[in-house]
Each structure stands twice: as C-alpha cells, then as structure tokens.
Structure 1
Amino acid sequence: MKVLFLISSFPALSETFILNQITGFIDRGVDVEIVAWNKVNNEKNHPEIEKYSLLEKTHFLNNNSVKSQRLLGGLKIAAKSIWKAPKATCQAFNYRKYGKMIFTVRFLYALPYFLKRQKFDAVICHYGPSGIIAAYLQNQKLLPENVMTFFHGNDVTTFVKKHGSNVYDSLFAADIKLLPVSHQFARLLKAYGANSEQIQVHRMGIDLDKFHPVKPSILGETVNFLSIGRLTEKKGMDVTIKTMYELKKRGLRISLEIIGEGALRNDLEALIINKNLEKEVTLLGWQSQTEVKQAIEKADFVLQLSKTASDGDKEGVPVALMETMARGKLVISTHHSGIPELITNNKHGWLVAEDSVPETTEKIIEVIHHPEIWTQISEQARNKIHHEFNIKKLNDTLIASCAGGIVHAQKNV
C-alpha cells in the first residue's frame, strides 16, 4: 500500500503525533511519501527522522518565507502550468470558490508535483488548510485517491475566525473524510456546514509500549511538577508559573520543569524572575521523546493548564497528557476544549477552570493531602489511554480506511 501525507511543515518538533502516525505506517509495511509546504531547519531532530529516512521521503513544495518572493514564484508556476493544465491553473485564482486561500498561492505550488506524481492508495492531510488544497486538486481531477483530513486545533478555531466560517465550503463539498481529533471539533465542523456523514472522530494516540506504568510514590521533601508544550498562550504556562508562586507562598518546596519552545519564552523568563522563582522553575526548551519520557518519570505531578488564547486558539487533545497518563502519572488540567474527553474529573485526574490560579492552587494542595486515592486514579488513567488512545489500534483502523474501509475509531456526531 502507498500512502501520501500532505502536511504544512516538516519536521515540526512539536508535532510528534504526526511523526508517530507516519512511522507507525512504515512499521506496518506501508510505502509512505510526505509532501510538505515548508522545511523546518531544527538544531536537532527527533531520532526517528533519521532512523526512518523521512527527509528522503519528503517533497517540499515551497521553502520561501518571504511573501513577495513566494507570490512571484507562484506567478512563475502559473505561467508554466497554464499550458499543461489551463483549467487547474485558472481555478487557482478562483476567489469566489476558495476565498483568501488563493493568496497563499499554495494551489499553484501544489500543481507541478501533482501533475506528474505517482498514484497512491490514499492521501492523509493534516490540518484543515491542507484539506482545502486536497479539495481543489480533487476538483481538478488531480487527486482521485481515497482522501481524509485531520483537524487538530487552530484549524477549527483561529483559522476559521480569520477566514470566515465558509472557508471550508469547498472541502465540505468534496469527497473527503473529515477526521477531527475530538468530539468538540466534530461539533464545530458540523456547525460550519459539514455533513455529519463526512465526520468521524479519530484520536491521535501514543505507543503504550514506550510508557511503562509506575505507581505514584510518596512525595519527597520537594514536590516535582512537570509541564510539556509549546510556549504559546493556549498552553497556559504563565498560569502554571503563577501557581508555583502561590504554592511557594504556602510553604511548599516545589520544583517545576517546563519542556517546550515558543514565542513566549522571553515573557515566561521575565515572569519567573518577577516571582523570584529562578531556583524553582526551569525552562528546558525542546527535548527529544526519550528526554521527555525521562522527565515524566521523575515528576510527581504533571500540569497542563491549557486555556483559550486571546485570538480564540484552542487545544485539541494534548498528546503530552496522554503520555503522562500512560505512565500512570497524576495529572491536573483544565475544562478546556477536548481535554474533558481525555480526563474525567476525579477519575483519570483532576480538572480546574481555565486561567484560575486560585482554583488550581487549592486543587493541588487538596490532591497532595489525599495520597490514598492516587493509585486508583493512576490505574484508571492508564486504562483510559489503553482503550481509547492506543496508537497501534488507531493506526490499524486508519490503514484499513486507507485501503477503502471505514474509520471506526468513534461514532459519527
């Protein structure tokens, strides 16, 4: 079987869920090719990139980050492709049908590859905008394969807010399966105009074999906290740091490690200094999957205090939470987006209100004072991941769908 993955940027360090899906397909003998718009030049990549020779399997469509040069390049492509595919080239400028997406010139940059590429059994798009490109290509008879599109987060929140609720009309009208990672996102897609029969919730998952469970242990003199995620507003790292300040004021000896990089790093460093938490809080930056597992192992509690960003951006279902729950770690998160679909409050962990330092502080103190419930919570969290977020089962289901079957991961909305 041959499967094409159509994604935005590669290899994106934070998108381990896409990486693990791709490597899972390769492990099952699937011939994989990746098409990405931009190449991400990281100081270091996840080891799987080299192990699976993924860069050799990737075709990059557009590496130019300068808008004027990108537009000029698109016009040059149009001048060449107008003779080979006049209708497809003209449709790349169809504002009435595709709206502001035409100004990204991604339709044009996709043409040279899709006019000459080999045929696949299926095409998997990650994020809604890639699905719009797929719909355009399908309309031009350039994508006859079985196509599906995953929706992860900002593609159903900020992207829609920016481009309008009709931005996905062409995608919804195409013969493409829609695979949101949460039921909340499924409801949003339906509200935007998608047909319920197109929509099938398909979770992102993790490899349970890589996360052996441990029972919660008695706390030492210092309570060790861990937060994992990009340093962006929706991850709520500022709330986490402020909560550490309140816990310290209460007399707790605390340590917090934050794994991830992002635009808010300088702001968070300033907040740490402002709260005199330089000895207690450490920004570790990006870490490999092996290093993340080691950090999870030594943590007593994992905090994921996600919140709705000022621009409307929201989480999907955070993979970092899945990894920590699979390890049997105790997690405290928020009533945010798809997180309650992963954590039932007081059963798989604990949930607090978004952006609430007081409530989070009180909840942590309450949990610390009731160690008798830790083991049961830990086991229930592990079982939740095993039954609903096991990437091996999810990949088997997805591969069956690529072969022409139906995705059965979750019922339709």
Structure 2
Amino acid sequence: MSDRLHVGYVLKQYPRLSETFVLNEILGVEQHDVEVSIFSLRHATEGRFHPDIASVRGDVHYLPVADKAAFLSAVRALPALDTDRLTEVFEFVDLLPADRRARVLLDAVDVADRVRATGIDHLHAHFLTVAAHTAHIVHLLTGVPYTVTAHAKDIYRLTVDWPLARRVARDAAAVITVCDANLEHLEMRLGPDVTVRRIYNGLGVQPVPAGLSDRTRHLVVGVGRLVEKKGFDLMLRAVARLAPELDDLRCVLVGDGDQRRALEALAVRLGIDDRVHFTGPLPQPQVASWLRCAHVMAAPCRVGDDGNQDALPTVLLEALGAGLPAVTTPIAGIPEIIEHGVEGLIVGEDDENELAAALAGLMSDDATWTAMSDSGPRKLAERFDRESTIRDLVGEFESATTGCRPRPIGAGR
C-alpha cells in the first residue's frame, strides 16, 4: 500500500461558484502530496465555474439519483461493508428529518463502498449538515475516520439541530472551524468531549496590488451572494446618501441571490439605478479585476432574521490581497480579518449613516487609504497564508489516520 495519504472530500455540491474556499483548500491539499477524491452528493447546477477547477487532479464522483436502482446497489454493497454497527447507523438515520433519511442512507452506502474499494484513508466534510451526516454513516460502515469543517449557516441559524450536530461531532476526529469567533461558539454548543480546531481559510500568493492612481475614483464594490446577511441594501442606501456630494460615485455589486430583484428595485426607488451595476455571478479572475480597480469595498454584513451570519468572508481575504480597504461590520470573525483603522474600518451593524460616513472618509483621505492598502497584503501573508493553513489542515488529517491504516472490514474493535 502507498504511504501517500488518500482523503475523500464529502461535499453537498461540487463545484460551487460561491465556495472558492473549498476549491482553494482542495488545490492546497493536493499540493501537499495528498491524493484527493471528491464525492458530490448533488450534481452541479450552476452554469459558471472558476477556471482553477481544471487544476484539481482528484476524481469527482457524483452520487446517483435515489431510485430503485440505487436501492438495489446499496443492498448489494452492504455485505462487503462493516455491518457490526448497523444498529448505530439506523439509530442515527432516525435522528434525521424523515424526508431525508432514505437519500442520506443510500448516499452513505454508495460512498462507503467506494471508500472501501479505493482505499481512502480519511474523510473530510464541509458544513456540519448533510455532508457531515453522510461522512458519519460512512465512518460507521468502514471505520475510516473523518473530520468536518464548520462554517457559518450550519452553526448560526436558529434552526440548527444541536443534538444531531453533537452526535456527528463526538465521533469526528476533529471539528475544524474557520475563525476564533466560531471556535468559541462551537465549544459552548458542542461540549467538552468534542475536539474543535481553528484553522483559517487561506489564500495563495496574490498579484501586486494596484495603487490608488490605477483605480477608479469613487467606485464602491460589493461582492457576495445577494442575501439578507450580506447587508447590500445598506450599501445601496449609503451610496444614495453620498450621491448628491459625489457626481462620479459608482457602485458595483458582484453576485446573485434571492434578493437581487429587491435590490434592483431599491436602487430605482433611491434614484441611483444609473449609478449601480449588478454584474451577476462572475468567475474568480473577473472578481479579482473588480477588486483591483475599485476605490473601496463595502461589506456591511449583519445577522439575519434566521440567525444566519458570515463567519470569515473569503471576499474580505481577497480584498486584503488586492490592497483594497474595506468598510465592514464586527460580525463573527470579521474583526480577525479587518482591524479597525488598519486594513479598513469597522462600523455598526445595520447603521447606514455610519457606513456612508466611513466610505466617504476613506475615499477622501488618500494617505489613510494608502496605509490601509499597504497593510492588507501584510495581514494576508501573516495570518491567512494558504501554505500555512493547509499544512495545519493536513496535519489534522494525518493525526486522525494514525493507527487507522488499514483496518480490514469486519475486524474487531
């Protein structure tokens, strides 16, 4: 058997344009000489993908539709798996919402069969929801250890099923999360018998940032899904407040989401629709171009009515690398990216007046802007360097597999 670590990534959907952090992580893990296989529980439905997808070397397996053929395939696969813990499997499945049980079980058996056949050493799931549920069942059926990365919507929404999350977390080799704010939240929610590690999302080496003279004055950019927690309605209201004073003020919103029509209508009502450009979703190179030509970024994140919030927005890491000062809010891990007055400005949540004043101040003070722009790449290199964060992640994978390679199916415990 090869000594090369083989990790199976369990993802709800791959690839996704909004999940650049998953793509960056997989590429980084592969660069550390880890073999990667990807299990996508759902087929990709987005029409645009990041060009770097082509650089991923690992195989991608899309799980079959949950039909009679999938059921028959699962029945045939079970005898080759570890059936000693089937009682635990069904007890866990019974904890899931009734309408998801059959699909999750069929998916898990399919993944377990491929894990057994391909000699995967470790499983890693992103989000403490269906991908983690699947990885947990695969673990019960194969003995292969697993880790889970918890992000934001999976731990902050008011509807999170914490007893179910604790069940998954207790069997995981570690629950990894992306910021210290999440770490504190998870340690409180999951209890002392769960190992939680903070490993930041990282970015690789970025191009040299554009200077102020090469940027478009008074161009404000916002990047992200057009959903409640991003606070882009506040961005539009702040732009409307500044518009009478700045004839050349322009705003670009990159992304798509369920609030797009409402935001477009708001721009019309505010009388700034001629100043606002909605680009829709864009691949990473085009996003990077906007970050390199904008004057300032607005990221007025908030806690949504459902409790959902950002944890460590990747776009703010990208802003650091692009030398683009940001005006944002103190939600979750954002202050771990942007220190007030150093790489940008922190304003109060849901405060459009403070947001407008901060944007105006940054765009009128070239000396402060330049100092913040210079600080961004330094922060990225010191705290969010992908080489360092991936090394820590691979270390967690290796620690989880120590003493676990290989374990024949059906062997005693």
TM-score normalised by length of structure 2: 0.86
Partner of 1:200: 197
Secondary structure of residue in 2 paired with 1:263:
coil
Amino acid paired to 2:112: F
Partner of 2:127: 127
Distance (whole Å) between structure 1 residues aligned to residue 51 and residue 78 of structure 2: 42
Q: Deviations over 1:248-267 (max 9, x none)?
A: 13345311111111111111
Unaligned 5+ runs, structure 1? 64-69, 407-413
1:404 shift after superposition:
2.6
Secondary structure of residue in 2 paired with 1:166:
helix
1:333 shift after superposition:
0.7
Aligned pairs (5 A) from 1:168-247: 168-195=165-192, 198-208=195-205, 210-217=206-213, 222-247=217-242
Q: Deviations over 1:149-195 (max 9, x none)?
A: 1111101012xx22432221212321421111111111121121233
Q: Does 1:107 align with 2:105?
A: yes
Higher deviation after alignment, 70-79 or 29-38: 70-79
Secondary structure of residue in 2 paired with 1:377:
helix
Q: Does 1:298 align with 2:300?
A: no
Aligned pairs (5 A) from 1:397-412: 397-404=392-399
Unaligned 5+ runs, structure 2? 402-413
Task: Identify the match of residue 34 of structure 1 among 31, 35, 38.
Answer: 38
Distance (whole Å) between structure 2 residues aligned to residue 301 and residue 99 of structure 1: 44
Are the equivalent residues in 2 in contact too, given 1:136–1:170 (CA < 8 A)? no
Q: Does 1:378 align with 2:380?
A: no
Q: Does 1:44 align with 2:48?
A: yes
1:231 shift after superposition:
1.0
Distance (whole Å) between structure 2 residues aligned to residue 101 and residue 180 of structure 1: 28
Are the equivalent residues in 2 in contact too, given 1:236–1:306 (CA < 8 A)? yes
Q: Deviations over 1:296-325 (max 9, x none)?
A: 111010111111111111101111111111
Partner of 2:162: 165
Distance (whole Å) between structure 2 residues aligned to residue 229 and residue 267 of structure 1: 15
Secondary structure of residue in 2 paired with 1:392:
helix
Q: Does 1:154 align with 2:156?
A: no
CA spacing shift, 1:269–1:89, aligned 2, 3 Å: farther
Distance (whole Å) between structure 1 residues aligned to residue 195 and residue 16 of structure 2: 28
Distance (whole Å) between structure 2 residues aligned to residue 299 and residue 346 of structure 1: 19
Aligned alpha-carbon RMSD (Å):
2.7
Task: Identify the match of residue 343 of structure 1 among 335, 338, 348.
Answer: 338
1:389 shift after superposition:
0.7
Secondary structure of residue in 2 paired with 1:256:
strand
Task: Identify the match of residue 261 of structure 1 among 256, 260, 264.
Answer: 256
Secondary structure of residue in 2 paired with 1:155:
helix
Are the equivalent residues in 1 in contact too, given 2:17–2:48 (CA < 8 A)? no
Are the equivalent residues in 2 in contact too, given 1:328–1:379 (CA < 8 A)? yes
Q: Deviations over 1:209-238 (max 9, x none)?
A: x33233434986x51111110111111111
1:96 shift after superposition:
8.6
Are the equivalent residues in 1 in contact too, given 2:214–2:293 (CA < 8 A)? no
Amino acid paired to 1:285: G
Distance (whole Å) between structure 1 residues aligned to residue 95 and residue 190 of structure 2: 15
Higher deviation after alignment, 29-38 or 192-201: 192-201
Amino acid paired to 1:9: Q
TM-score normalised by length of structure 1: 0.86
Are the equivalent residues in 1 in contact too, given 2:156–2:309 (CA < 8 A)? yes
Are the equivalent residues in 1 in contact too, given 2:78–2:109 (CA < 8 A)? no
Are the equivalent residues in 2 in contact too, given 1:92–1:102 (CA < 8 A)? no
Amino acid paired to 1:94: E
Amino acid paired to 2:234: V
Q: Percent identity?
A: 20
Are the equivalent residues in 1 in contact too, given 2:240–2:272 (CA < 8 A)? yes
CA spacing shift, 1:333–1:62, aligned 2, 3 Å: farther
Distance (whole Å) between structure 1 residues aligned to residue 25 and residue 124 of structure 2: 11
Secondary structure of residue in 2 paired with 1:308:
coil
1:40 shift after superposition:
1.3
